[in-house]
């Protein structure tokens, strides 16, 4: 699995694999093996089910707005709450962070703690 990460901030109220969700933009966090391992070891993540209906725009190299349920590796899209993702980021040492991650952290801290964040590893 790749460790380049895009964060999808899901619509307010989306918190369950059975709901329809969407995202209009994403935060490109980039590659961070340390963050990947912290998130991977967290018990706070959940995955979309195969019949989930989540839509968004992945980015400039992908076709436009559409259904997103899996990563390029065929794994179901994973979600975590903003609060739990902030906790994961804060477990990193200063030398394990970089500018785009610091900017993402500042953005995440302004969200409602329960807002769901899609973790699109690619």
How do residues 55-79 score in pLDDT, each as one tens digit? 887 765 656 678 888 888 888 889 9
**Residue 3 within a domain:** no
Longest C-alpha distance within the chain, in Å? 40
**Residue 7 within a domain:** no
* pLDDT greater than 90 at residue 12: no
How many domains does the chain contain in total?
A: 1
**Residue 101 within a domain:** yes
Tens of pLDDT, residues 77-115:
899 999 999 999 999 998 888 888 999 999 999 999 999
C-beta neighbour count of 81 within 10 angstroms: 20
Which residues are CB-neighbours of 67 under 8 A, at least 6 positions away? 53, 54, 55
**Residue 8 within a domain:** no
pTM given for the model: 0.88
The domain in which residue 35 lies consists of 19-121
* Euclidean distance between CA atoms 93 and 73, whole angstroms: 29
Cβ atoms of 60 and 36 within 8 Å: the answer is no
């Amino acid at each position: 699995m790749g460790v380049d990460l895009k964060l999808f901030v899901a619509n307010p109220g989306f918190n369950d694999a059975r709901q329809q969700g969407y995202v209009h933009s994403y935060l490109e966090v980039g590659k961070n093996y340390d963050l990947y391992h912290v998130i991977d070891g967290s018990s706070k993540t959940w995955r979309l089910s195969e019949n989930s209906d989540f839509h968004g725009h992945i980015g400039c190299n992908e076709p436009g707005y559409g259904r997103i349920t899996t990563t390029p590796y065929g794994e179901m899209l994973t979600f975590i709450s903003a609060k739990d993702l902030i906790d994961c980021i804060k477990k990193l040492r200063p030398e394990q962070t970089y500018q785009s991650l610091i900017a993402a952290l500042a953005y995440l801290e302004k969200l409602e703690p329960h807002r769901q964040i899609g973790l699109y590893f690619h």
